[in-house]
Structure 1
Amino acid sequence: MGTSLAGGVPTVLPTYQRSSAQQGTLALDRCEGERREISPGVVLVSGWLTPNEQAALVDQFREWALPPAGLRHPRVPRGHLMSVQSVCLGWHWQPYAYSRTADDTDGAPVKPLPPAIARLGRRALTDTFGSRAGLEFRPDAVIANLYGPGARLGLHQDAEEPSPAPVVTISIGDTCLFRIAGVDRRTSPFIDLHLHSGDLLVFGGPSRRIYHGVPKVYDNTGPHVPGLPAGRLSLTIRETGLGD
């Protein structure tokens, strides 16, 4: 597909913190810690991260978001800016390619993937696909997406990684509608999930290349997480299979 020559637009996190909000209006049928196989290869664990773990990740995200190679709105090859804001670790992703430098903004080297985040990814695989999957997982990239008010993400495949290893998604902040289509289609019928703060979603195996997206984030539905701006933060931890 190529990449956009216009580049992305760097952004800066607001210094204020979100107001405290009550979570629960969209969580009536949840059971914290419950593991559910949504479809073959798609596993959801509700409330996987503790509030303290979520707060620690937000603290780290605020550091990752700073330049160089900081937070920005990516631009797709056709020219329009994505409404989500993204920062990358390990490998820099822009639609639709990976590199070791932030080629769509300041050209700086991408920030390294912290060992603790790699361990978190292996723990996620262990808790969803078993201990062997956790041991075999070699995460080398993170895409952290901030969904501010009104942001969304259209249906797409995570298809730039040669590795067939599962993709780990962690949600923090406001609840979102996460939509799943199929491996070979982006049309209905869909599976729609509500992902809440602390939830873990992993997709792999026959569903590794599913079309998925976030058509809506529900404002003010998440818990108060110190330092998190209004909206939703998602961390996707990946094994790219790319060589240096």
Structure 2
Amino acid sequence: MSETERPGRPVPGLVVRGVEIFPGLLDSAAQAGIMAEIAAVMSAAPPVQPETRFGRKMSVRMTSAGKYGWVSDRRGYRYETRHPSGVAWPPIPAPVLTLWHRVTGLARAPDCCLVNLYRDGAKMGLHQDRDEADFSWPILSVSLGDEARFRIGDVTRGGPTESLWLKSGDVLAMRGPARLVHHGIDRVRGGSSTMIEGGGRINLTLRVVD
């Protein structure tokens, strides 16, 4: 990363294993505004249920916005410029970009906003985000809808972990030494929010890909 951060970043309310957590950074109006934009993204590029390179279906449904979208199938994990249906990914919504710049302090915009939809017991095992070209750029994560139990491990696999509940409006950043920590979602507390039509949780993950 060759870019100097802008001053005035918000101060995290909590730091766990280097992961910066900003509880309640988005108020209800900001959440509703972003959710309306993400609903339009999902309408243009409907979430799909990916499968791993081993042929196992993931429980989370995914779509993306931006220059690239993250996809997974028998060919492996990677970024593509188009949705599996062949349509171009929608642009990243303006309020999501504003949040990225505010929290990261960076002028550069992210290349991808991955949209994960958790419903019906969906979860995400411990993993690292390492399909990007340069790990010195941060990753920003935004929680909307139902609460989720977020687990954080180490950069190396195995060993002790810590967990906490993320609520709608919480934002976290993985940067510096914490950029490659293993992390995942153990479970979602269904019915803890009424924000998302049909229930569930949406997680937005913003990344620089190139």
The separation in 2 between residues aligned to 1:115 and 1:221, in whole angstroms, is 27
Distance 2:100 2:185 in 1: 21
Counterpart CA distance in 2 for 1:57 and 1:229 is 17
- Mapped partners of 1:156, 1:34: distance in 2: 23
Find out whether 1:113 has 2:62 as its counterpart: no
Q: Tell me what 1:204 maps to.
A: 175
Query: Residue 85 of structure 1: CA displacement?
Result: 1.1
- The residue correspondences of 1:92-171 to structure 2 (distance < 5 A) are 92-95=69-72, 96-102=77-83, 105-125=84-104, 134-163=105-134, 164-171=136-143
TM-score, normalised to structure 1's length? 0.75
Runs of 4 or more consecutive aligned structure 1 residues displaced over 6 Å after TM superposition: none
Q: Which runs of 5+ in 2 are unaligned?
A: 1-10
- Which whole-Å CA distance do the structure 1 matches of 2:103 and 2:156 have between them? 26
The two structures, once aligned, show a CA RMSD in angstroms of 1.7
- Provide structure 1 residue ranges, at least 5 long, that are not aligned to the other structure: 1-32, 126-133
- CA shift for structure 1 position 136: 4.4
Counterparts of 1:43 and 1:73, CA distance in 2? 29
Shift of 1:113: 2.1
Report the secondary structure of 1:192's partner residue: strand
Q: Is the 8 A contact 2:34 2:96 kept in 1?
A: no
Q: Which of the residues 62, 66, 69 maps onto 2:39?
A: 62
| Count of aligned pairs between the two proteins | 194
- Write the letter of the residue equivalent to 2:156: D
Aligned to 1:17: none
Q: How far did 1:234 drift?
A: 0.8
Alignment check: 8 A CA contact 2:34 2:95 kept: no
TM-score, normalised by the number of residues in structure 2: 0.86
Taking only the aligned residue pairs, the percentage that are identical comes to: 32
The answer to whether the 8 Å contact 2:148/2:166 transfers is: yes
- Tell me which amino acid in the other structure corresponds to 2:61: Q
Q: What one-letter code is carried by the residue in structure 2 that aligns with 1:35?
A: G
2:197 is the alignment partner of 1:228 = yes
Q: Does 1:173 align with 2:145?
A: yes
Instruction: Kindly indicate whether the alpha-carbon contact (under 8 Å) linking 2:140 and 2:207 is maintained by their aligned counterparts in 1.
Output: yes
